[in-house]
Amino acid sequence: MKYYKIPFCLVFLFLTITCRAQSENLHSFRVVPLGVEGGLNESNLSSYMLAAAGTDAFIGLDAGTLFSGLKIAVNKGVFRQPLTEVLRKKIKGYLISHPHLDHVAGLVINSPDDSNKNIYALPFCLKVLEEKYFTWESWANFGDKGEAPQLKKYHYIDLEENKETALEGTKMFVQPFLLSHSSPGLSTAFLIRHDSTYLLYLGDTGADSIERSDHLKQLWKHITPLIIDKKLKAIFIEVSFPRSQPDNQLFGHLTPDLLMQEMQTLSSLCGTSSLKGLPVVITHIKPAGNNEQQIKKELRETNKLQLKIIFPKQGVPLNF
């Protein structure tokens, strides 16, 4: 019997491909953060790319920063294509939680170089895009509604609260939930499904106790069965300020204490054991002063539920 000596490089390549394939099979979603902060730095504002695992068909979760975040991701080797090709071909559409500039500036500024695609949002959000941003006085009307002439690059998709909608060009579906953001201001949470697994992304939101609302509690009730059944892979939620921020200066945002207060409400519905190890990705940290370091410290101190707290970085992929 003859034995053939296989070069080590081929063995290593085979093992690498096999391990990568097995890893992808264990995950349901791939996220590329393009912007993770909540202000000041216009090159790092709320924006995430989300795809079903094993695909390159992404949806944008907000779009405060696009170009700068894509440039970082390309430079890190996340994408092999040129930046403009990723923008035009890999991002199939945008989910916009609310129309504040730190969530839409990248979308507006990059619109001339973008390709035709859908913008998905609740009506209150699309109205602002149509009447305030994509107009010929403030920019140009790249939408398919509003001032003439309409360039029709973007097609507005009115989402219906609590109703699931297919995200065109991807293997994902979205269900929107209303949030309170400095009442009477509004925002949106997006529950995204791929097959039988889910990822929850919240735009800016205040705590129910501060906003005098029950929007978060209703959202927690809805996702409770998904957590119990281990179908919810991650929650993306904001923490903008440290606990020293006065309640009357929160402007519809969370602190570490308020986040954990909301997580306790969720825990009362699904059980503490169900939350242990659940990935919670912290978004929208205001970068002024030492806010980031203080918020991280306070979250670690108050994480009695043993959540898996994650602090995303621009251009560094996350898999869930």
Q: What is the pLDDT of residues 135-188, one digit of tens each?
A: 999 999 999 999 999 999 999 999 999 999 999 999 999 999 999 999 999 999
- Percent of the chain past pLDDT 90, that is, above it, reads 91
Q: What is the mean pLDDT of residues 95-115?
A: 98
pLDDT level of residue 19 (50, 70, 90 thresholds):
very low
Mean pLDDT of 100-128: 98
- Please report whether residue 11 resides in a domain: no
Neighbours of 285 (CB within 10 A): 23
For tokens 């035709």, what's the residue?
116
Mean pLDDT of 285-301: 96
Domain of 272?
A: 29-319
291, part of any domain: yes
Domain membership flag for residue 3:
no
Here the tokens at position 140 are 């140009």
pLDDT at 101 over 70: yes
CATH number at residue 90: 3.60.15.10
The pLDDT value recorded for residue 2 is 54
**Who wins on pLDDT, 229 or 21?**
229
Structural domain tally of the chain?
1
CB 92 within 8 A of CB 57: yes
Q: Phi and psi at residue 90, in whole multiples of 5°?
A: -90, -30
The pairing of strands 172-180 and 186-194 is antiparallel
What is the phi-psi region of residue 213: left when phi exceeds 0, alpha when psi lies from -120 to 50, beta otherwise? beta
Residue 85 domain flag: yes
pLDDT at position 1 is 52
Answer whether residue 1 is part of any domain.
no
pTM score above 0.85: yes
Give me the sheet containing 47-52, strands edge to edge.
154-158, 117-121, 91-95, 58-63, 47-52, 29-35, 318-319
Domain annotation covers residue 12: no
The answer to whether residue 16 scores a pLDDT higher than 80 is: no
In a domain, 136, yes or no: yes
Q: What distance in Å separates the CA atoms of residue 90 and residue 52, rounded to the nearest whole number? A: 12
Report the pLDDT value the prediction gives residue 11, as an integer from 0 to 100.
45
Burial class (CB in 10 A: 0-12, 13-18, 19+), 188: buried
Q: What is the pLDDT of residues 41-66, one digit of tens each?
A: 999 999 999 999 999 999 999 999 99
Residue 257 to residues 169, 234, 297, Cα–Cα distance (Å): 39, 20, 12
pLDDT at 274: 96
- Of 79 and 8, which is predicted with more confidence? 79
Classify residue 51: in a domain, yes or no. yes
pLDDT band at 6; cut points 50, 70, 90: low
pLDDT at 99 over 60: yes
